[in-house]
Amino acid sequence: MTLVLAAIAAFVSALIQRITGLGFMLVLVGPIVLLYGPFEGVTIGVLLALVAALAAIPLVWRDVDWRRAWWLIWPGLVAAPFGALLVSVLPDAALLLLISAMAYFALVAGWIPALSASLQGRMGAVVAGSSAGFMHVASGLSGPPLAAYAVGDKWEQRRFAASAQVIFAVLSAISVALRGLPVTPVPDVGILVAATIGGILLGTLLVRFVPASIARLAMLAIAWAGATVVLVRGILALWM
């Protein structure tokens, strides 16, 4: 049952990612952490995020802004080891609370105009990229600082969504390298990878027919529910 639920979560996350350009880990992190625990869940999540990004890149290749992407990628690579260090020293309860806090931040970051306004130009890219790298290794949730930078620097949405896939792929690859591979049996991980690819492929077929606004509403509903359940579980873990 755990594998079935995780496969459904990965499929839906990839489907939403393909339609909206963002949101894979935001949707997946709640279910995957609840099913596999805070460390193993995020480890599986960042591996699947790598798969989702690699599957999406050939579909958006022509729209990638390589120069802007690089100015977000290299600070992320510098900051990523600090995220891995933090995760390695925190107990499970603290990890659950950290993941839920990052998930809530991801959900409300878009409502903070000052955040986007402060992230402009090369310096804004360095701040956003380093924050994304740290958050991606720690929780897989690197989207908020990247999206805030895109708004602040007036990055055209189509170009940003395409470039984000390259950034996610690189940050996911370094996250896998720093966190290690999942300890979950390889056949199970293979099923989750297949579900992720299936979600990307179906999303490619549906992207012209499903309004992005509907997909975003589904993404937000699942993400809020997942973040809240992870928070409650973290609080309960502190008391046990």
Q: What is the mean pLDDT of each run of 10 residues along the chain (240 residues)?
A: 93 86 82 89 93 88 90 93 89 82 72 64 83 86 79 80 90 93 94 94 82 69 72 76
Provide CB contacts within 8 A for 47, sequence distance 6+: 172, 176, 181, 182, 189, 193
Q: What is the structure's pLDDT at 99? A: 80
Q: Where are the domains of the chain?
A: 2-239
The pLDDT score that the predictor gives to residue 54 is 92
Q: What is the pLDDT of residue 3?
A: 93
CB atoms within 10 A of CB 28: 34
Residue 118 is predicted with a pLDDT of 63
Q: Is there a contact between 45 and 140 (Cβ–Cβ < 8 Å)?
A: yes
Quote the CA–CA distance of 206 and 193 in Å, as a whole number. 20
pLDDT given at position 111: 64
The H or E element that residue 10 is part of is helix 2-20
Residues 199, 11 contacting (CB under 8 angstroms): yes
d(CA 37, CA 32): 8
Query: pTM of this prediction?
Result: 0.86
Amino acid at 193: V
Instruction: Determine the pLDDT at residue 240.
Output: 65
Give the distance, in angstroms, between the CA of residue 129 and the centroid of all CA atoms in the same chain.
Answer: 14
pLDDT at 227: 72
Task: Determine the 3-state secondary structure of 171 from DSSP.
Answer: helix
pLDDT at 153: 73
Q: Is 136:46 a contact under the CB 8 Å cutoff?
A: yes
CA distance 77 to 96: 24
In the 8-state DSSP scheme, what is residue 111?
G
Using an 8 Å Cβ cutoff, are 128 and 149 in contact?
yes
